[in-house]
Amino acid sequence: MERSDTRYARCGELHIAYQVIGDGPIDVLFVPNVLSSVEGLWHVGSLARFVERLAGFARVILYDQRGSGVSDPLPEREAPTFEELAADAKAVLDAVGSQRAAVVTYEGGAPVAFMLAATHPNRVSAIVAANARARLRWAEDFPIGFTDDLVELGLDIIQRTWGGQQRLLDDPSPDHVHEQWARYQRQAASPGAAFLMRKALVDVDVREVLPIVPVPTLIVAHTGVGGFDEPERRIANGRYLTDRIPDSKLVVLEGVVDPPDDLDWLADEAHEFLTGVRDAPERHRVLATVLFSDIVASTERAASVGDRAWNDLLDAHDDMVRRQLDRFGGNAIKSLGDGFLATFDGPTRAVRCAQAIRDGAQRIDLEVRIGLHTGEIELRGNDVAGMAVNLAARVAALAEGGQVLVSRTVTDLAVGSGLPFTDYGTHELKGVPGSWQLYALAG
């Protein structure tokens, strides 16, 4: 889908970067979650797919707020006000010639949307805001906010982990997902700028603005999104907003999602609310065994051997994996940079393929970790989704180098195959209810 090059709008003395994609009958302004990179988002699979979904029915306007991405840095490193951030959004609408746009946003971008609609009601036609809040901090008259201890913990995590400086111990994402988002963060802001912008969000309070938001507003609260924000607090914030915004409604979504991997739910809700049609991708559910593979310590290995040698090694790895998938009847869904996502119609063939991939990687001096789970998946064109896919990814994240881990569902269905499994204990998988018995393939 064709998109414009990065261009610049003027907001006072500052230059605000923006892009436009799609040519639909309505304009949609995507307000970022405080920090963004209009150039880097195209290298993050879920973000690119989300924007392209919006562009299927609208002209989508993307931009980097001041202090973020390729927009101008913050003057004298002062945190911006939300009035200033709303002014950035209006400047972009002016630059692209948009008289009136629907605003789609999530989390920290929501106060900007509310402020823009309240101060420039003739420029906003509707708002869709996911996991939004009017205020972050706890107060006596706002008991659903975060305590000061949690706020300081969040700011400390940003400084320690921004741009991949440190990986959280409970981060289950494969290396390629972690590295993809770490690169996006570095393109969005430096750690110091990220801390400053997030600190501005910490002190936001737009409660007085809510009763004068004059446009139809959809608040989406997703209970399955990760982070240390409890589902109950997320829903309570959604109810607080819809109780005060005159023309608003709340939709509560449940289930397990990972924002780095899945924003389709927000695209679905935005499309239906803004057009009256729910045109989600056609989905068919089938039973399959899902395999995730991941090269262990790929970043360190690439740094030690150099780019050329590493690319040669990756090519050899990819060729080997594809040969084994063909041999065992696997369906290669996609290459993940340093790993693969594949599906099989039988668990025994999937495990034998995982065994062959593990052994083949060792022969070319690589270590891989592999996870498998059997369950119902959703077919979305050439992609797959659903709880079974998330579970397989979680299982793979727990595997060590050279290890194949499987769920109990796989071992139960592979009874009589002669495959040697050993008990790997009971584990809690992030974002997945209950405890899960896992098994390791011996050898």
Residues 396-426 pLDDT 10s: 988 988 999 999 999 989 888 888 999 999 9
- Output the pLDDT for position 71: 93
How confident is the prediction for the chain on average, in pLDDT? 86
Is 37 inside any structural domain?
A: yes
- Output the pLDDT for position 169: 46
Number of C-beta neighbours around residue 134 at 10 A: 22
- Amino acid (1-letter code) at residue 67: G
Assess contact for 403 and 328: CB atoms under 8 A: no
- Output the pLDDT for position 188: 87
Q: List, for residues 153-199, the tens digit of each pLDDT value.
A: 877 777 777 777 665 545 555 555 667 778 888 888 888 878 777 77
Is 1 inside any structural domain?
A: no
Q: Are residues 264 and 293 in the same domain?
A: no
Whats the size of the chain, residue-wise? 443
Q: Are residues 189 and 336 in the same domain?
A: no
Is 165 inside any structural domain?
A: yes
Q: Which of 230, 255, 275 is the last residue of a domain?
A: 275
Q: Domain count of the chain?
A: 2
Q: Are residues 69 and 112 in the same domain?
A: yes
DSSP reduced 3-state for 27: strand
Q: List, for residues 212-253, the tens digit of each pLDDT value.
A: 999 999 999 988 766 666 788 889 999 999 999 999 999 998
Q: Are residues 322 and 217 in the same domain?
A: no
- Output the pLDDT for position 234: 87
Is 2 inside any structural domain?
A: no
Q: Which of 243, 258, 275 is the last residue of a domain?
A: 275
Name the DSSP class of 139. B
Q: For 164, left (φ over 0), alpha (ψ -120 to 50), or beta?
A: left
Assess contact for 333 and 383: CB atoms under 8 A: yes
Q: Give CA–CA dist 80/67, Å, rounded.
A: 9
Pick from 116-130, 203-217, 350-364, 380-394: least confident: 380-394
Strand stretches in 215-367, DSSP E: 217-222, 248-253, 283-295, 331-335, 339-344
Which pLDDT band, with edges at 50, 70 and 90, does 292 fall under? very high
Q: What domain range includes position 310?
A: 283-441
Burial 145-169 (b: 16+ CB within 10 A, else e): bbeeeebeebbeebeebbbbeeeee
Q: What is the mean pLDDT of residues 24-33?
A: 94
Assess contact for 85 and 120: CB atoms under 8 A: no
Q: Which of 249, 275, 301 is the last residue of a domain?
A: 275
The Cα diameter of the chain in Å comes to 72
Is 389 inside any structural domain?
A: yes
pLDDT higher than 90, residue 79: no
